[in-house]
């Protein structure tokens, strides 16, 4: 299990079958430097094109189409003192007839990111918001694998391969399972946010360069359709599409499959369970494809005696052990 | 401040300008008996037509069009030992091509509701789910006021007047603010759920008769457009429409208005604040109109020193005190 | 088969179970005066409230829940010299970020309606549009029956009972079949347009008072779910909902049923036929519920020898003759 | 103005910046052979992968980002005797709860395509549909240019670059204007349909190999956002997205721009004109991105004296002559 440190020479604004930047083995850990959404690195220098430039792709040995790639996010460290956000709720998130009466021309807002205090603060705001301080909640906005059919899909959007899901639940400690479509999976990662509201409704989180430390694991023949994930409390599935209704459909259908495959519930049991215990989160309602997350609480599995280690911190994984 | 006990003689399956069942004063408290979604009361007797029959309407003295009616839910007590749920995730929540391969013909499932242990358990299930126990989380599925224009709107759906929002956050301790469209507001309530998953994706929560205890307060000239609410942790707005994207638009726009009116933020400040601190919940994705909730955390207001009592338990209300 | 002339005393801005304004027999013909969308009659006098006030309701003897009411529009005569339109494409029809840079404050535009020349012309416009002349194409914006469950549904919107569908295909010569939900059907009609673009994207057609001449026929036990219609060229079904995708679903599903019931096609045959011969029109994309029309060409039925009279002008009706 | 005959060696199932298959000059005409949606050519041999394999790309000399590429479809000739269709309306086009009760397992249906009679007929159907004959109406399902940002977008879907729009109005005689994103435009074409219903609701038209004859013209600095088109009767814009509502937004906004730029109407005039004269067609409601067409009748421009040749057959083009 090697531990790699990776600083990109080349960045990509699509997730696609680009030449691998690094070959890694199943189980390896990588600490990757990532540029911010506008292509600026930890020193504030522009090193990549705008629009969520990706670090990678990482060729994971042994990953084949039909497998899943499990990516565990161990450490998400914003590695410079300031990030930036948009300052206007996107028009598609507000009533069509709403026109904001802004008092200024502000386009971008800088935020101080303090890894010690684990907070963020806007810079240069007067008035009440001058005192605003929010807890640091680092997350990955855009990551995923090379899509099928030789596609190269913009890092502005998302689909079955992952991509720009902008879900604040993709933070430290989560394991995300991506379907593998090409040999080596070709994993890309970037677009870190120090903080983000649900929905990414101003079009950004607090965009900043990162050190992102993750490990990978290949799950053979997992045969999943959409990105799945788990943390200490939840199983999660991301559905990426428009409108949000369709995200719900993708995510819920995939969760039905997961619970059936993993725990050998009957179809009826899964419908009953989800009916009274499902939860949903909004990933983003800004990008070309929106994201909804279907969540199932591990506490319910625990109360049924189904967690592998008998504790809520169990890793559930994709399939029942055979 | 009188305290009324109310047992309906007549139930309505629309929210409309029906003859008032009880006149109450601003500030009064009511303990209303409600039938379940199929019209059965606490003794299991059918007392009303199916489809979310409402108790009320309550004519609130002094409420006029343009006011808001604040309804605080003090106590939600399921008053019989069993409720029921559907057993099938609604087809609109799943991928269009998904067809479930059910192993049985089960249509309705009974659940034991235990007010002492504060849990619910399915009745008569064998296998793993025989041991399922979920925490009791009582909520109101359908409530609201008479809509404008002389409409009588089915209790299957929802709109600006409230209605069948099926949001699990509408539980004990919440205060909901409805826009008033007719003299007396004509408040209706019913459709209690002992438990419900996000989205009400099987078309029901655990449907059961209730004692619902609430108080009302008239807020003059509040001039709100959509149901707003607050509990100890959040300001909330409900947007009711299809698709979910449109719910997001209604709820977010109303939240922008609320924060501006109440705290005299600038438009820019509200956009910045919501951008990094907004949250969304799914009410329902089953009813003719879906429901999304836009939430703003009181903790952020607290950190800005804006909560009236200087504590997170402050009631924020609709307008700045003049 | 009586011929009634009807001038309303009372107008309604909901379709609901209002007291019948006129009892008519199966087969009767009515010439009804209708006010325009703002409640002005043929003399320009305000006789009703704004928002598509309806003439009626007409109680049709013999109509019972489960029947269909066939309404044939014989003559649609705009009975005053001017109508009006909005002058701004509704924001929901344009990209969210589009903000129009209007050169004036014009809110309403008057149009001269010429029944002789059968044209309309804008009044008081300078420049190129001063010469604009469009062909008169009179249509009914809002009509339908009392909805189920005791609802009273705003004439701003539409559903299974018909209502504000704003489809330009509902002109002279069309027969519309409404599902009957209450005894007597309680038919309402109004909101005439001298001309309208697809989608009613400025929120109005050319709104004007009308003489609307129609006849009614009760079709027992027809058991339809959505408004159906036919003219000389097409079978049509209206689906009313949001988003447009859902309108398509309702309308297409109802068309599948219609073709199966009427012609005893197999399910496979209907799917094949619609696949290569279906057409769709946009009714409106402005009202709270949008409208899409699923159309099937009578020419295809004719080529299969299925038209009852062996001519394209055959009335197809709802069911095969038994 | 050279005339090329092109038979592909390589086919692509994405529209992307692939190596040019042929360099052509501004004004050239090409007769390209295209495979059907499953990759079969005129002899029925499988020559390409499934999923709308494209012929091309054609590098058009002089085309630069910011230009438009005008492609005129001169001749669309199905070049083998049979095509095929799906036989089932896609579940997303029907009500979620609708489950078809098919009487057979038929998956694909063959159709005889007769270029002499200009008709199509299903093969091997018994019963009423055995006699079905529909008029030949050849069209291009998928065509467009290389998208921006180095993307390679699946030929299953569509966006600003064109792609799989499946609009039956893209037939002989139409000129389509694509925005150019890369040097040479890199035009791709294929996926011909002998016939198709609106919406492509069974997931196919009558899929067949073609000889497609087209010419290209570069329009410098046209700066358009979405595919535009014109035929003898209409100006057209394609909006490609989900849901259909969003397609309407894209297409209508682009039509507003077009009319303003080309005819120097004021913003108000364009809103008024579209309000009473716009038309919409459904392209497809099947593909990952749906397509709606916003149409404006040339007859209205003619009546205003705005057509360049003073006849309805005038080519309008993108910009006013300077």
Span C172-204, pLDDT tens digits:
999 999 999 999 999 999 999 999 999 999 999
Q: Is the pLDDT of residue C63 over 70?
A: yes
D109: nearest Cα among D91, D123, D90: D123
State how far the Cα of C196 lies from the Cα of C97, in Å rounded to an integer: 26
State how far the Cα of B173 lies from the Cα of B157, in Å rounded to an integer: 24
B248: nearest Cα among B220, B226, B230: B226
Shortest Cα distance from A127 to chain B (angstroms)?
A: 9
What is the reported pLDDT for A322?
A: 66
Q: Check: CB of residue C166 under 8 Å from CB of residue C113.
A: no
Q: Check: CB of residue A75 under 8 Å from CB of residue A185.
A: no
What is the reported pLDDT for A314?
A: 80
- Within 10 angstroms of residue A27's Cβ, the number of other Cβ atoms is 14
Q: Which residues of D touch C259 (CB under 8 A)?
A: none
Q: Is the pLDDT of residue C312 over 70?
A: no
State how far the Cα of C107 lies from the Cα of C88, in Å rounded to an integer: 8
State how far the Cα of C165 lies from the Cα of C180, in Å rounded to an integer: 17
Q: Is the peptide bond before A132 cis (omega within 30 degrees of 0)?
A: no
SS3 B270: helix
Cα torsion B10, B12, B18, B20 to 10°: value is 50
What is the reported pLDDT for B264?
A: 87
Paired tokens of D296: 């404006």
Q: Closest chain C residue to A92 measured between Cα atoms?
A: C96
Question: What number of C-beta contacts closer than 8 Å exist between A and B?
Answer: 215
Paired tokens of B100: 């479930």
Q: Check: CB of residue C61 under 8 Å from CB of residue C184.
A: yes
State how far the Cα of A54 lies from the Cα of A248, in Å rounded to an integer: 27
Exposure of C16 by Cβ count < 10 A (0-12 exposed, 13-18 middle, 19+ buried)?
A: buried
Q: Check: CB of residue A115 under 8 Å from CB of residue A247.
A: no
CB contact under 8 A, D274 and C89: yes
Q: Check: CB of residue D211 under 8 Å from CB of residue D31.
A: yes
Exposure of A41 by Cβ count < 10 A (0-12 exposed, 13-18 middle, 19+ buried)?
A: buried
SS3 A271: helix
Q: Which residues of B touch C150 (CB under 8 A)?
A: 12-14, 16, 152
Q: Which residues of B touch A131 (CB under 8 A)?
A: 303-305
Across residues B156-177, what is the average pLDDT? 98
Question: What number of C-beta contacts closer than 8 Å exist between A and C?
Answer: 15
Q: Which residues of A touch B204 (CB under 8 A)?
A: 275
Q: Would you call A18 an interface residue with chain D, using a CB distance cutoff of 8 Å? A: no
Q: Is the pLDDT of residue D322 over 70?
A: no
Indicate the residue of B93, B133, B205 with minimum beta-carbon distance to A303: B133
Q: Closest chain A residue to D52 measured between Cα atoms?
A: A149
Phi (first) and psi of residue D227, to 5 degrees: -60, 130
What is the reported pLDDT for A321?
A: 72
Q: Is the pLDDT of residue D60 over 70?
A: yes
pLDDT tens digits for range D180-196: 999 999 999 999 999 99
**Residue with the two structure tokens 């809520």:** A312
Going by pLDDT thresholds of 50, 70 and 90, the confidence category of residue B320 is confident
State how far the Cα of B172 lies from the Cα of B233, in Å rounded to an integer: 13
pLDDT tens digits for range B61-105: 999 999 999 999 999 999 999 999 999 999 999 999 999 999 999
Q: Which residues pair with C177 in a beta bridge?
A: C70, C228
What is the reported pLDDT for D310?
A: 72
Is the pTM value of this prediction over 0.90? Answer: yes
Q: Would you call A135 an interface residue with chain B, using a CB distance cutoff of 8 Å? A: no
Q: Which residues of A touch C90 (CB under 8 A)?
A: 96
At a CB cut-off of 8 Å and minimum separation 6, what does A69 contact? A60, A63, A145, A177, A178, A180, A185, A187, A216, A217, A218, A219
At a CB cut-off of 8 Å and minimum separation 6, what does D257 contact? D224, D225
Q: Is the pLDDT of residue D15 over 80?
A: yes
Q: Is the pLDDT of residue B310 over 90?
A: no
CA distances from A231 to A215, A299, C315 (A): 15, 12, 63
Q: Would you call D102 an interface residue with chain C, using a CB distance cutoff of 8 Å? A: yes
State how far the Cα of A192 lies from the Cα of A173, in Å rounded to an integer: 15
Sign of the torsion angle spanned by Cα atoms A224, A179, A215, A239: negative
Interface probe with C: pick from B10, B11, B12, B14, most Cβ of C within 10 Å:
B14
Going by pLDDT thresholds of 50, 70 and 90, the confidence category of residue C319 is confident
Sign of the torsion angle spanned by Cα atoms D101, D105, D107, D108: negative
Selected residues 160-179 of chain C with any CB under 8 Å from a CB in chain D: none
C212: nearest Cα among C83, C56, C84, C14: C56
pLDDT tens digits for range B18-75: 999 999 999 999 999 999 999 999 999 999 999 999 999 999 999 999 999 999 999 9
Q: Would you call A243 an interface residue with chain C, using a CB distance cutoff of 8 Å? A: yes
DSSP A202-269: TS-SSB--EEEEEEEEEETT---SS-EEE-SSEEEEEEEESSHHHHHHHHHHHHHHHHHHHH---HHH
Shortest Cα distance from B121 to chain A (angstroms)?
A: 11
Please report all neighbours of C, defined by 3+ CB atom pairs within 8 A: A, B, D
Q: Check: CB of residue A212 under 8 Å from CB of residue A38.
A: no
Q: Closest chain D residue to A51 measured between Cα atoms?
A: D149
**Residue with the two structure tokens 């007719």:** B182
Interface probe with C: pick from B52, B146, B147, B150, most Cβ of C within 10 Å:
B150
Q: Closest chain C residue to B151 measured between Cα atoms?
A: C152
CB contact under 8 A, C273 and D205: no
Shortest Cα distance from B97 to chain C (angstroms)?
A: 14
Q: Which residues of A touch D243 (CB under 8 A)?
A: 242-243
pLDDT tens digits for range A200-238: 999 999 999 999 999 999 999 999 999 999 999 999 999
Paired tokens of A161: 């391969």
State how far the Cα of D293 lies from the Cα of D283, in Å rounded to an integer: 7
What is the reported pLDDT for D312?
A: 62
Question: What number of C-beta contacts closer than 8 Å exist between B and C?
Answer: 43
Q: Is the pLDDT of residue D314 over 90?
A: no
Q: Is the pLDDT of residue C81 over 90?
A: yes
State how far the Cα of D264 lies from the Cα of A297, in Å rounded to an integer: 59
Q: Is A115 left (phi over 0), alpha (psi -120 to 50) or beta?
A: alpha
CA distances from A201 to A92, B51, B298 (A): 9, 36, 19
Cα angle value A132/A135/A138 (rounded, 5°): 125
Q: Is the pLDDT of residue B1 over 90?
A: no
A169: nearest Cα among A135, A189, A198, A144: A198
Shortest Cα distance from C246 to chain A (angstroms)?
A: 11
- The answer, yes or no, to whether ipTM is higher than 0.95 is yes
State how far the Cα of D196 lies from the Cα of B66, in Å rounded to an integer: 53
Going by pLDDT thresholds of 50, 70 and 90, the confidence category of residue A287 is very high
Q: Check: CB of residue B171 under 8 Å from CB of residue B283.
A: no
pLDDT tens digits for range A131-143: 999 999 999 999 9
Mean pLDDT of chain A: 96
pLDDT tens digits for range D124-171: 998 889 999 999 999 999 999 999 999 999 999 999 999 999 999 999
Paired tokens of A268: 């009826």
Q: Check: CB of residue D104 under 8 Å from CB of residue C268.
A: yes
Q: Check: CB of residue D158 under 8 Å from CB of residue D200.
A: no
Going by pLDDT thresholds of 50, 70 and 90, the confidence category of residue D35 is very high
DSSP B195-257: ---TBTTTS-SSB--EEEEEEEEEETT---SS-EEE-SSEEEEEEEESSHHHHHHHHHHHHHH
pLDDT tens digits for range C10-57: 999 999 999 999 999 999 999 999 999 999 999 999 999 999 999 999
- Within 10 angstroms of residue A116's Cβ, the number of other Cβ atoms is 6
Q: Would you call D131 an interface residue with chain B, using a CB distance cutoff of 8 Å? A: no
D288: nearest Cα among A151, A252, A51: A151
Exposure of A200 by Cβ count < 10 A (0-12 exposed, 13-18 middle, 19+ buried)?
A: buried
Q: Check: CB of residue D56 under 8 Å from CB of residue D77.
A: no
DSSP category for residue A244: H
State how far the Cα of B133 lies from the Cα of B129, in Å rounded to an integer: 9
**Residue with the two structure tokens 């101003």:** A202
Q: Check: CB of residue C285 under 8 Å from CB of residue D245.
A: yes
Q: Which residues of A touch B89 (CB under 8 A)?
A: 252, 256, 271, 274-275
- Within 10 angstroms of residue B108's Cβ, the number of other Cβ atoms is 11
State how far the Cα of B292 lies from the Cα of D267, in Å rounded to an integer: 35
Q: Would you call D156 an interface residue with chain C, using a CB distance cutoff of 8 Å? A: no
Q: Is the pLDDT of residue D101 over 90?
A: yes
pLDDT tens digits for range A18-44: 999 999 999 999 999 999 999 999 999
SS3 B94: coil
pLDDT tens digits for range B180-202: 999 999 999 999 999 999 999 99
Q: Check: CB of residue B89 under 8 Å from CB of residue B226.
A: no
Q: Which residues of D touch A154 (CB under 8 A)?
A: 149, 151
State how far the Cα of D198 lies from the Cα of C274, in Å rounded to an integer: 9
State how far the Cα of C245 lies from the Cα of D288, in Å rounded to an integer: 13
Q: Is D244 left (phi over 0), alpha (psi -120 to 50) or beta?
A: alpha
Q: Is the pLDDT of residue A104 over 80?
A: yes
What is the reported pLDDT for A82?
A: 98
State how far the Cα of D99 lies from the Cα of D200, in Å rounded to an integer: 19
What is the reported pLDDT for B312?
A: 62
State how far the Cα of B15 lies from the Cα of B152, in Å rounded to an integer: 5
At a CB cut-off of 8 Å and minimum separation 6, what does B163 contact? B15, B142, B143, B144, B153, B155, B157, B240, B289
According to DSSP, the β-strands at A3-6 and A29-34 are parallel
């Amino acid at each position: 299990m090697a531990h790699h440190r990776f600083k990109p020479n080349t960045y990509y604004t699509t997730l696609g079958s680009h030449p691998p930047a690094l070959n890694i083995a199943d189980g390896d850990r990588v600490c990757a430097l990532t540029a911010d959404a506008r292509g600026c690195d930890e020193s504030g220098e522009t090193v990549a094109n705008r629009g969520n430039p990706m670090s990678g792709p990482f060729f994971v040995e042994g990953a084949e189409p039909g497998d899943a790639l499990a990516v565990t996010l161990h450490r998400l460290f914003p590695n410079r003192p300031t990030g930036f956000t948009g300052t206007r709720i996107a028009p598609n998130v507000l009533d069509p007839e709403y026109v904001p009466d802004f008092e200024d021309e502000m386009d971008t807002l800088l935020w101080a990111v303090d890894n010690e205090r684990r907070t963020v603060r806007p810079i240069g705001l007067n008035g009440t918001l001058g005192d605003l301080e929010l807890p640091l909640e680092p997350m990955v906005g855009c990551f995923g694998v090379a899509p099928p059919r030789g596609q190269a899909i913009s890092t502005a959007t998302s689909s079955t391969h992952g991509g720009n899901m902008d879900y604040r639940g993709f933070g430290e400690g989560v394991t995300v399972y991506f379907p593998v479509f090409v040999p080596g999976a070709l994993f890309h990662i970037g677009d870190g946010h120090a903080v983000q509201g649900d929905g990414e409704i101003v079009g950004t989180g607090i965009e900043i360069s990162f050190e992102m430390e993750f490990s990978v694991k290949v799950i053979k023949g997992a045969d999943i359709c959409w990105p799945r994930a788990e943390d200490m409390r939840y199983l999660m599935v991301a559905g990426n599409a428009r409108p949000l209704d369709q995200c719900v459909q993708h995510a819920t259908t995939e969760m039905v499959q997961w619970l059936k495959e993993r725990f050998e519930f009957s179809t009826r049991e899964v419908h009953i369970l989800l009916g009274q215990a499902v939860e949903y989160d909004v990933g983003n309602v800004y990008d070309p494809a929106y994201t909804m997350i279907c969540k199932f609480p591990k506490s319910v599995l625990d109360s049924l005696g189904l967690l592998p280690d008998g504790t809520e911190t169990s890793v559930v994984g994709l399939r029942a052990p055979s």
